[in-house]
Amino acid sequence: MQKIKTFFIGSYEELKKVVWPSRKEVISHTIIVIISTAVSMAIIAAIDFGLFNLVQLMIQGK
């Protein structure tokens, strides 16, 4: 039981040392992640569309 108590006390002490980001930083980083995800999605979709059409052309023989 003492080991569990020591673990939680140590965890609490470590949490007090954490430097949490400000609200402005969180919003900024969230926007960056959303934009990066959208750009990546658009690039992958364009590649997928192009490869799909290329395979269709090869299959149809036109």
The pLDDT value recorded for residue 49 is 98
The DSSP output letter for 22 is P
pLDDT of 14: 93
Residue 62: its pLDDT value, please?
61
pTM comes to 0.66
**pLDDT at residue number 34:** 99
Could you tell me which residue, 49 or 1, shows the higher pLDDT? Answer: 49
pLDDT digits (tens, 9 = 90+) for 19-39: 999 999 999 999 999 999 999
Tokens for 39? 């750009």
- pLDDT > 90? residue 6: yes
Triad 1, 15, 2: Cα angle to 5°: 10
The tokens of 4 are what? 């569990």
d(CA 57, CA 50): 11
Helix, strand, or coil (residue 15): helix
- In angstroms, the CA 32 to CA 58 distance is 39
